[in-house]
Amino acid sequence: MEISSSHKLIRIQGNDALTFLQGQLSNDLELSNDSTFQKNALCNVKGRVISLIWIRRPEDSCFELYVDESLLKKTLKTLEKFKVFYKSKMSLPEEVSEKINLVELGVWRKNCILSGLCEITNYTSETFTPHDLNYQNQDVINFDKGCYTGQEVVARMHYRAKLKSAMFLTESIALKNIEEGDNLYDLEKNIIGKLASRTDNESLIFLKNKNLFLDQIYSKKGEAISISRQF
C-alpha cells in the first residue's frame, strides 16, 4: 500500500467507530480492510467535498484515515462535531504502519492525476461535488450504503440528474500560472470550469459542460488551454 509523505494520519477506534464513520463518509466502511486503502469523500450538508480520505482498517473497531496535510485541521474539526455522539477515540499517531510505503508528494499527485483522481487540498475544499470530480467512477462512493452527511444531494445528482460536466486531463503550460480552484473561461470570458488538481506538468480540469468546444478554454489572462483526454 502507498500513500504520499504529506498525508497525515487520523486514528479512530472504539465500539462505535464504524457507526460513527458510516454516518460521515461516502463509501461503505463495512468493506474496508487491512490490506488495501478505501477511498472516501467527507462532504458538507450541501454535498460538497471537504476532503478525500484514504482509509485502512487494521482491526474491526479501528480505522486509519489518511488526509492531505493542508486539510488535517479542517477534517478533524468536521469529524469532532459528530464524534461526541459515539463511543470512539480520535488520535494523531506520528508513525504509520510498516505495511505502508510513503511516496514523494509530486510522484503521488502525478499518479493520481494521470488516473483521473482528483485529490482535494485547502484550495479546493468544499468547491466540488463528488460527481464534479467523477468520484462515482473512482470507487469513492457506495450508493447502496446508508445515509451520511451530504448523501441526499449526492444521490439525487446520481439518480435524477443528467450529468453534463466532466473531468479532463491537460498538460497545458498555461495552468502553471493559476491556482487549484481558479476559474477557467471561454472566449466571451464566461466561467466554464475550474482547475481541479495540478502538478508542474499535468493537471485535471473540471468543465461544467463536456460538450463545449474544447479548443476554446482559457485562463483568466487569456492563455489557451489544450485538452489531452476526458475521464
Any idea what the CATH number is for the domain that residue 185 is in? Answer: 2.40.30
Give the domain range for residue 212.
Answer: 166-230
> Mean pLDDT in the chain?
93
Long-range Cβ pairs for the range 157-160 (8 Å, 24+): 157/47, 157/129, 157/131, 158/131
Domain-ending residue, one of 159, 192, 216: 159
pLDDT tens sequence across 29-48 = 999 999 999 999 999 999 99
User: What is the rounded distance in angstroms from the CA atom of residue 172 to the CA atom of residue 175?
Assistant: 6
Positive or negative, the CA dihedral 89, 144, 148, 120 is positive
Number of domains in the chain: 2
Q: Which residue has the higher pLDDT, 159 or 70?
A: 70
* 118/41 same-domain check: yes
User: What is the rounded distance in angstroms from the CA atom of residue 62 to the CA atom of residue 59?
Assistant: 5
85: nearest Cα among 9, 25, 14:
14
* 85/151 same-domain check: yes
* 151/176 same-domain check: no
- Percentage of residues in the chain having pLDDT higher than 70: 99
Domain-ending residue, one of 159, 193, 211: 159
* 62/149 same-domain check: yes
Model's pTM, two decimal places? 0.94
* 207/222 same-domain check: yes
Whether the predicted pLDDT of 133 surpasses 90 = yes
Domain-ending residue, one of 126, 159, 192: 159
160 CB-near residues (< 8 Å, 6+ apart): none
Please give the grid coordinates belonging to residue 49: 467535498
